[in-house]
Homo-oligomer: A and B are copies of this chain.
């Protein structure tokens, strides 16, 4: 629709894909956290490193948006997308951090479905980012993310109902609820990324 008098800066797509790949890595680290044999301290270091790299990528995107004359889509939407991707990482890092801070040992087995949703949703997001270039075939991405978010919602409520069932000590309930809330926020943030992509696609189409 918009007239373009010179080639747009295309490397934004690469940076968004790079960003989403950090999220894939973060979700994989969360999956390892559920394994009983994992060294929690080493895992915490890897997660902080992934979060740091995601921050670097975010800054690269913002800097490039500020210095590029013609951006592939609205400058404001570039910020919104970058910052919503960054939120996902922050919540995943928070999850691992809380497990350490609260000195939690094994996490309950029923946390696994939440982490699987995160793994699947981050992978879908990474696969979708290169498609921003053509704005084509993005529908299936956000429909599937919305479906996953609904599925995550249901498993979240089951986990919490189980935490409240009387099998855990009071403080344990509070600690575990904080951890599962973080996972839930990470999933919500991925839905918010998908909504942002949808809005950009609608505007640009």
Interface residues of A (CB under 8 A from B): 65-66, 75-76, 79, 83, 94, 97-98, 101-102, 157-158, 160-161, 164, 166, 170-171, 173-175, 177-178, 195, 198-199, 202-203
Contacts and interface: CB of A to CB of B under 8 A. Distances in A.
A199 B79 contact: yes
A34 to B, nearest CB: 21
Given A195-B83, A202-B75, A203-B76, A98 B157 contact: yes
Instruction: Give the most central of A76, A79, A164, A173: most B CB within 10 Å.
Output: A164
A24 to B, nearest CB: 24
Count the copies.
3
A66 B202 contact: yes
B76 A199 contact: yes
B171 A171 contact: no
Contacts of A171: 164, 166, 170, 173
Contacts of A76: 199, 202-203
B173 A101 contact: no
Nearest 6 CB-CB pairings of A with B: A101-B161, A170-B170, A164-B171, A164-B175, A101-B157, A164-B174
A79 B164 contact: no
B175 A79 contact: no
A114 to B, nearest CB: 16
A66 B205 CA distance: 10
Nearest to A83: B195
A65 B66 CA distance: 28
A91 B83 CA distance: 23
Contacts of A157: 94, 97-98, 101
